[in-house]
Amino acid sequence: MVVATGYIPRDPGTRRIGGITPLATKESENVATGSISGIDGRGAFVDIRRMRAVIQRVSSASVEVDGVTRGSIGRGLVVLAAVETSDTGDDVEWMAKKLVQLRIFTGPEGRMDLSLADIRGQLLVISQFTVLGVTRKGTRPSFHRSAGPPEAVPLYEALVRRAEALLGTPVATGVFGAEMRLSLTNEGPVTIILDSRRKDI
């Protein structure tokens, strides 16, 4: 969710984080809470908290846990989804609709005109907290923005249920928190990042 409160001029000497200029004088104070408030390139106040997903258009995919296949699909989308600490049902609803309606499959004219629903494709959703990793400092990613299991599991499961309702078919999944092996054939290749709070990426 992006909240705009009018124009706020930016100090050109302030370091930007992911296209956002932090408002806090001590960046660590803001980051410690799992939230960063700041100013985007248009001078609007924003709150950078989100559900984020990396989606790949595939001709087939499967996920294994301990050598056992737990989910597999044919043509469709593989979704690596991460839940942020402050995500809500609104983020789930936006993400589920976008996954089903995003037109990234090739139509008769050779353009990306068709959605997952249009082609009656399948969906494989994998929990992937590392999608929210922060790499701006040092060489070891930080995952402080990723929600822990008590928060993340209900929203992850809600995303799966909502996508199933919109598609009218079961959604394949892995096992939350497990060590998984994901195999896929990316068709295109086509890979897109979705972010429920920064809808312009």
Question: Is there a single domain that holds both residue 33 and residue 95?
Answer: no
Mean of the per-residue pLDDT values for the chain? 80
User: How do residues 164-192 score in pLDDT, each as one tens digit?
Assistant: 999 999 999 999 989 999 999 999 999 99
Q: How far apart are CA 201 and CA 188, in angstroms?
A: 20
Domain that holds residue 31: 1-48
Q: How many domains does the chain have?
A: 2
Whether 201 is covered by a domain: the verdict is: no
Question: Is there a single domain that holds both residue 91 and residue 170?
Answer: yes
Looking at residue 39, its pLDDT comes to 47
User: How do residues 107-144 score in pLDDT, each as one tens digit?
Assistant: 999 999 999 999 999 999 999 999 989 898 899 999 98
Q: Looking at 48, 67, 82, which one is the last position of a domain?
A: 48
Residues designated catalytic? 128-130
Q: Looking at 9, 24, 48, which one is the last position of a domain?
A: 48
Q: How far apart are CA 23 and CA 28, in angstroms?
A: 12
User: What is the pTM for the complete model shown?
Assistant: 0.73
- The CA angle 163-67-72, to the nearest 5 degrees, is 25
Two tokens at 189?
A: 């290749």
Question: Is there a single domain that holds both residue 103 and residue 174?
Answer: yes
Whether 140 is covered by a domain: the verdict is: yes
